[in-house]
Amino acid sequence: MSILTVDSIVAGYGETEVLHGVSIRVEAGESVTIFGPNGCGKSTLMKTIFGLLTPKRGRVNFEDADITGMPTESLIRMGMSYVPQTNNIFPSLTIQENLEMGAFVDGSNAEAQIAEMYRMFPDLERSRRQRASSLSGGQRQMLAFGRALMLEPRLLLLDEPSAGLSPIMTQLIFDRLYDIQQTGVAILIIEHNIRVALSMSNRGYVLANGENQLDGSAASLLDNPEIGRLYLGGAS
Ligand SMILES: Nc1ncnc2c1ncn2[C@@H]1O[C@H](COP(=O)(O)OP(=O)(O)OP(=O)(O)O)[C@@H](O)[C@H]1O
Ligand SMILES: [Mg+2]
């Protein structure tokens, strides 16, 4: 069963139309990567899914519910969580406080959830009383995941989780995302490190100029000569 169905979404900013009828689907428990050139509308699509932008046309379904234009807070309560491309933690708060802030929907279980996050991200426990601004780029991203997971989502949306990170840290981030997926959480990732992202994904979509360009299984996209030429730096 699909957990997320985006059907022919038209959206943009004011008069400017960025998405001209994009459609994607995420099955329950699946990991799906979206990629495409800078400015093609990937973040706009994710913001539209998460209720931060209202589409002009088209439909978004979360499981059986039509969530088109629904406010973000309702979507979080329904089981969706989002890690934006930038500003995804509070730098002046401690690690512990950042995680506590993540539990704002239902604080009753926060202590157990924070313990679970520290089990998953031991680095964070070691620096729990430090300000988040003291963390490395990779640790900050782990904290952003931790905050998003505090909401116990069934669908996790991630916008360029490896932005600014070294190749080694990028691999670690994707290893951790794979672990998260193994707990049954469906993941939709925007990523420019296509090879690393597709290696842990079930399927992928290529967007170009606000339209669907190509989609398929992760393996078929990695084997596609056109993708290799355009996005994987030559023959793959
Ligand atoms: N808040 C905004 N107001 C007006 N235009 C915007 C806004 N945000 C993005 N745009 C424009 O919409 C288009 C798509 O932007 P978007 O951020 O969705 O692209 P992207 O595929 O995520 O790019 P990148 O790979 O650089 O993150 C771009 O032309 C961008 O300039
Ligand atoms: Mg973007």
Ligand 2 centroid–CA 121 distance in Å is: 26
Is the Cβ atom of 40 under 6 angstroms away from ligand 1?
A: yes
- pLDDT value at 39 more than 90: yes
Please check whether residues 163 and 145 belong to one and the same domain. no
Provide the domain count of the chain. 2
- Nearest-CA residue for ligand 1 atom 9 is 44
- pLDDT value at 198 more than 70: yes
Please check whether residues 75 and 90 belong to one and the same domain. no
H/E run at residue 219 = helix 218-223
> How much is the pLDDT for 86?
83
- pLDDT value at 67 more than 90: yes
What are the counts of helices (DSSP H) followed by strands (DSSP E) for the chain? 10, 10
What are the tens digits of pLDDT across the range 200-215?
999 999 999 999 999 9
- pLDDT value at 104 more than 70: no
> How much is the pLDDT for 105?
63
- pLDDT value at 189 more than 70: yes
Instruction: Specify if 223 maps to a domain.
Output: no
Contact between residue 94 and residue 137 where contact means Cβ atoms under 8 Å apart: no
CB atoms under 10 Å from CB of 29, counted, come to 17
Question: Hey, which residues does 32 pair with through a beta bridge?
Answer: 188, 203
Rounded average pLDDT over 104-122: 83
Among 15-19, 36-40, 94-98, 116-120, the least confident range: 116-120
- Nearest-CA residue for ligand 1 atom 29 is 39
Confidence category of residue 114, pLDDT binned at 50, 70, 90: very high
Closest CA to 101 of 112, 118, 89: 89
Question: Hey, which residues does 178 pair with through a beta bridge?
Answer: none
Instruction: Specify if 217 maps to a domain.
Output: no
Please check whether residues 13 and 72 belong to one and the same domain. yes
Closest CA to 39 of 218, 222, 192: 192
Please check whether residues 145 and 178 belong to one and the same domain. no
Instruction: Specify if 226 maps to a domain.
Output: no
- pLDDT value at 235 more than 50: no
> How much is the pLDDT for 236?
38
Instruction: Specify if 228 maps to a domain.
Output: no
> How much is the pLDDT for 234?
52
- Nearest-CA residue for ligand 1 atom 3 is 13
Tokens representing 11 are 């959206």
H/E run at residue 226 = helix 225-231
Please check whether residues 17 and 48 belong to one and the same domain. yes
pTM: 0.93
Is the Cβ atom of 43 under 6 angstroms away from ligand 1?
A: yes
* CATH code assigned at 30: 3.40.50.300
- pLDDT value at 232 more than 60: yes
Please check whether residues 73 and 186 belong to one and the same domain. yes
Mean pLDDT of all residues in the chain? 92
Instruction: Specify if 225 maps to a domain.
Output: no
| 113 or 107: which leads in pLDDT | 113
Please check whether residues 70 and 101 belong to one and the same domain. no
Please check whether residues 93 and 180 belong to one and the same domain. no
> How much is the pLDDT for 182?
93
Ligand 2 centroid–CA 86 distance in Å is: 9
Distance CA 104, CA 184 (A): 22
Instruction: Specify if 218 maps to a domain.
Output: no
Please check whether residues 27 and 130 belong to one and the same domain. no
Structure letter (DSSP) for residue 133: G
Please check whether residues 69 and 160 belong to one and the same domain. yes
Instruction: Specify if 219 maps to a domain.
Output: no
Please check whether residues 70 and 174 belong to one and the same domain. yes
Contact between residue 110 and residue 62 where contact means Cβ atoms under 8 Å apart: no
Distance CA 1, CA 29 (A): 10
Ligand 1 centroid–CA 112 distance in Å is: 38
Domain that holds residue 139: 86-152
Instruction: Specify if 233 maps to a domain.
Output: no
Please check whether residues 54 and 145 belong to one and the same domain. no
Rounded average pLDDT over 156-166: 92
Closest CA to 157 of 93, 76, 66: 76
